[in-house]
């Protein structure tokens, strides 16, 4: 028995092509010499997904159509040398087509194996977007009228360095080995016939004849790969993108120091259009310039330009694994929209500090209350940024120069009057 399989007897219907996919995958993994603990198998919803418990590798079972997105997140964060494999059906590939194309475009280092039996086999035999014209299914007994997507062509044109289409019979482990050894994204589409529904509605059909009639060209398509997109682990465990393009962000240079030893959480809430989100992002960047870890999460109505705007910021000396804020250390309220959005949270506070604009009513709270004239001093547009400046000045969490420099390096540099940082109160 292979070291990659815990249970050699597979759970699929007799004659199903999924047997050949698993056997060929195992043989390919053995050929490249990896250990089971170096392999992460991500499966989608479908008959293929019940194989999870049979593999001795790491396994992740995802939502329908989302396995490629899950696998992409895994592949971007793990060290090189690991192998991330996705099992997905034609139904899942239909639902998650955009995830597949984006992973190919970014050249994320994973191998996607599409079990294309031309229908949704687990839910009754309905057609998918990969079902060829004329193929009969449970809801198209006269044959599907629409043509199928050419998945391999779409993925190749999206930028994948390795794409293949094979018949799901016999041993195609060599194709899977090539895919697994590709530096970046690879997709192998395996054509199958569902023994429960495909043959029931299309008696006498042969897989090779179907592929030829439907124009499912078999073969391998390759190109020189672009740089692989993954995240790089920094000196203190932080992650940042590396590769090429817009996501290759430069690291924030540490030029200042902060006295913060543990973790500090802030809620900043005001009105849409008054710079709340940008102010919170500037605070996070200023914190990173002092060597702290920082997260920022924004919330606002769908309309974006009206109503409240709230940002949650966490600053921490150690890496942040969870970015939720249950009981904040500080809440800054700069407008009535912000107060109405956060009033329930403020009433539940039993510690921390509430910084609130002088124009607003003070709600009941167990927090310490600090009233400041943020809007009166600098106007509505800069009230959020000025409020952060005030809080940092009075609490001493970050040096003032770090915030000023973060403003100067931000898109707001030409629109923020720097004299607002000359005083506070």
CATH number at residue 364: 3.40.920.10
- Reply yes or no on whether the pLDDT at 311 is more than 60: yes
Q: Which of 158, 156, 161, 164 is nearest to 183 (CA)?
A: 161
Helices (H), ranges, 349-382: 374-378
Same domain assignment for residues 37 and 176: yes
- In the predicted model, is pLDDT for residue 137 greater than 50? yes
Residue 245 has pLDDT above 50, yes or no: no
Counting the structural domains of the chain, the total is: 2
Q: Which of 175, 200, 222 is the last residue of a domain?
A: 222
In a domain, 183, yes or no: yes
Phi, psi of 53 (to 5 degrees): -70, -10
pLDDT tens across 387-399, in order? 999 999 899 999 9
The domain containing residue 369 runs over which residues? 252-421
Within a domain: 325: yes
User: pLDDT tier at 242 (50, 70, 90 boundaries)?
Assistant: very low
| pLDDT tens digits for range 81-126 | 899 999 999 999 999 999 999 999 999 999 999 999 989 887 888 9
Q: What is the mean pLDDT of the chain?
A: 90
Please give the distance of CA 295 from its chain centroid, rounded to a whole number: 16
pLDDT band for 1, please (50, 70, 90 cuts). Answer: low
Domain presence at residue 8: no
Distance between alpha carbon 16 and the CA centroid of its chain, in Å?
32
Answer whether residue 417 shows pLDDT above 50: yes
180 phi, psi to nearest 5 deg: -65, -30
Query: Alpha-carbon distance 106 to 101, whole Å?
Result: 9
Give the Å distances, CA to CA, from 123 to 16, 108, 129, 267: 16, 31, 15, 45
Question: Are 34 and 165 within one domain?
Answer: yes
Burial class of residue 302 (count of CB atoms within 10 Å of its CB; 0-12, 13-18, 19+): exposed
Q: What is the DSSP letter of 110?
A: -
Q: Say yes or no: 211 and 263 in one domain.
A: no
Is residue 184 located within the same domain as residue 294?
A: no
**Distance from C-alpha of 411 to C-alpha of 279, rounded to nearest angstrom:** 11
Same domain for 71 and 187, yes or no, is: yes
CATH of the domain at 32: 3.40.50.970
Do 63 and 209 fall into the same domain? yes
Say if 12 falls within a structural domain.
no
**Is residue 241, in this structure, part of any structural domain at all?**
no
Is the sign of the CA dihedral 374, 376, 377, 383 positive or negative?
A: positive
Q: Are 281 and 203 found together in one domain?
A: no
215 lies in the same domain as 123? yes
Q: Taking Cα atoms as reference points, which of 383, 329, 379 lies closest to residue 354?
A: 329
Residue 354: per-residue pLDDT: 98
Are 284 and 185 contained in the same domain?
no
- Give the distance from CA 8 to its chain's centroid: 34
Does 259 lie in the same domain as 215?
Answer: no
Contact predicate 210/135, CB 8 Å: yes
Residue with tokens 């923020």, as numbered in its chain:
416
Confirm whether 39 is domain-assigned. yes
Which of 222, 238, 266 is the last residue in one of the domains?
A: 222
Asked if residues 64 and 92 have their Cβ atoms less than 8 Å apart, the reply is yes
Nearest-angstrom CA–CA distance, 251 and 278: 19
Under a CB-based contact definition with an 8 Å cutoff, are residues 87 and 22 in contact? no
- Is the same domain home to 206 and 297? no
In a domain, 238, yes or no: no
DSSP labels, 123-181: TT-EE-TTPPTT---SS-TT---SPPP-HHHHHHHHT-SEEEEEESSS--HHHHHHHHT
User: pLDDT at residue 236 above 60?
Assistant: no
Among the residue ranges 41-50, 238-247, 391-400, 408-417, the one predicted with the least confidence is 238-247
Residues 156 and 287 in one domain: no
User: Is 4 within a domain?
Assistant: no
Name the strand (E) or helix (H) holding 155: helix 151-158
Angle at which helices 276-288 and 400-408 cross, to 10°: 120
Q: Which tens digit of pLDDT belongs to each residue from 157-199? A: 999 999 999 999 999 999 999 999 999 999 999 999 988 888 8
> Given phi > 0 = left and psi -120 to 50 = alpha, else beta, which region is 415?
alpha
Helix and strand totals (H; E) in the chain? 13, 17
Does this model's pTM top 0.95? My answer is: no
For the cut 70, the answer to whether the pLDDT of residue 52 exceeds it is yes
Among 202, 222, 242, residue at a domain's last position: 222
Q: Nearest 5°: phi and psi at 312? A: -110, 125
């Amino acid at each position: 028995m292979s070291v990659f399989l815990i249970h050699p007897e597979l759970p699929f219907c007799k004659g199903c092509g999924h047997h050949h996919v698993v056997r060929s995958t195992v043989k390919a993994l053995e050929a490249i010499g990896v250990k089971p603990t170096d392999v992460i198998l991500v499966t989608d919803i479908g008959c293929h997904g019940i194989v999870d418990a049979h593999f001795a590798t790491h396994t992740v079972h995802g939502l329908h159509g989302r396995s490629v997105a899950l696998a992409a997140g895994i592949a971007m964060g793990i060290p090189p040398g690991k192998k991330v494999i996705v099992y997905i059906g034609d139904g899942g590939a239909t639902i998650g087509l955009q995830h597949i194309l984006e992973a190919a475009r970014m050249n994320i280092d994973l191998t996607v194996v599409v079990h294309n039996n031309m229908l949704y086999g687990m839910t009754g035999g309905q057609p998918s977007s990969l079902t060829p014209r004329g193929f009969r299914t449970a809801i198209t007994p006269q044959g599907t009228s629409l043509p199928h997507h050419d998945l391999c062509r779409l993925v190749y044109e999206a930028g994948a360095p390795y794409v293949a289409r094979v018949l799901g019979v016999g041993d195609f482990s060599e194709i899977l080995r090539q895919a697994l050894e590709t530096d970046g994204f690879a997709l192998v589409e395996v054509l199958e016939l569902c023994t429960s529904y495909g043959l029931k509605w299309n008696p006498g059909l042969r897989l090779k004849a179907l592929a030829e009639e439907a124009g499912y060209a078999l073969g391998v398509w390759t190109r020189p790969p672009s740089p692989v997109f993954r995240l790089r682990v920094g000196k203190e465990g932080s992650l940042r993108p590396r590769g090429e393009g817009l996501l290759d962000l430069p690291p924030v240079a540490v030029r200042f120091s902060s006295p913060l030893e543990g973790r500090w959480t802030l809620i900043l809430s005001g009105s849409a259009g008054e710079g709340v989100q940008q102010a919170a992002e500037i605070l996070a960047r200023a914190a990173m310039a002092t060597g702290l870890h920082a997260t920022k999460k924004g919330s606002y109505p769908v309309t974006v330009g009206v109503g409240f705007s709230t940002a949650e910021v966490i600053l921490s000396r150690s890496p942040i694994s969870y970015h939720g804020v249950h009981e904040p250390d500080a809440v800054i309220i700069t407008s009535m929209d912000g107060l109405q959005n956060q009033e329930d949270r403020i009433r539940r506070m039993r510690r921390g500090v509430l910084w609130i604009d002088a124009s607003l009513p003070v709600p009941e709270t167990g927090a310490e209350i600090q009233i400041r004239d943020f809007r009166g001093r600098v106007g509505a547009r800069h009230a959020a940024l000025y409020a952060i400046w005030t809080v940092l000045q009075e609490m001493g969490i970050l040096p003032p120069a770090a915030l000023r420099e973060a403003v100067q390096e931000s898109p707001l540099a030409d629109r923020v009057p720097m004299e607002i940082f000359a005083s506070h109160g």
